[in-house]
Amino acid sequence: MSNSSDLDTLQQLDATLAQRRNADPAESYVASLHHKGLNKILEKIGEEATEVILAAKDAERSRQRDELVGEVADLWFHSLVMLSHLDLSSTEVLACLRQRFGLSGLAEKAARTQQD
Ligand SMILES: N=c1c2ncn([C@@H]3O[C@H](COP(=O)(O)OP(=O)(O)OP(=O)(O)O)[C@@H](O)[C@H]3O)c2ncn1[C@@H]1O[C@H](COP(=O)(O)O)[C@@H](O)[C@H]1O
């Protein structure tokens, strides 16, 4: 279930991530990622995506959901760090998703295929 406090969570995290761009890498994990640069952040996203896939397969087998939820949180978190590193935030992604409301993926794909 979602509510406005879920959006607050994303906005608060965005604000923390932006603030960490000027923080000491020795005292902040996010600052250390910014300091190491985009390639390190992308490497973490790749690792976390793989962990999500493995946890999803486990969840399907065992119905254990907690690990999957934690892995998706890691993936979302590192994706937000990447956006922040590139001067973007969840705001742009949420606006993009909102624009797609009501547009079926199948209809969107059919329109795209007709253009090609
Ligand atoms: N949401 C998170 C969050 N989720 C995951 N992580 C960290 O992401 C890392 C995940 O990497 P791994 O599991 O691969 O762990 P690892 O093996 O130690 O990673 P590496 O050595 O490969 O870098 C862990 O160190 C987690 O602690 C997070 N670190 C920070 N946040 C948020 O970011 C805020 C700022 O964090 P700092 O910059 O550290 O103050 C925090 O207050 C939180 O709100």
Please check whether residue 49 lies inside any domain of the structure.
Answer: yes
Q: CA 80 to CA 78: how far, in whole Å?
A: 5
pLDDT at position 63: 82
Measured by CA distance, the residue closest to atom 29 of ligand 1 is 29
Please check whether residue 1 lies inside any domain of the structure.
Answer: no
CA 92/CA 68 separation, integer angstroms = 25
Q: How many domains does the chain have?
A: 1
pTM of the model: 0.91
CATH of the domain at 21: 1.10.287.1080
Residue (of 10, 72, 83, 79) closest to 44 by Cα position: 79
State the residue range of the domain holding 38. Answer: 13-114
- Ligand 1 centre to CA of 28 (Å) is 9
Kindly state whether residue 5 falls inside one of the protein's structural domains. no
Asked if the structure places residue 7 within a domain, the reply is: no
The ipTM of this complex is 0.91
Segment 72-92 shows an average pLDDT of 97
When pLDDT is averaged across residues 43-72 and rounded to a whole number, the result is 96
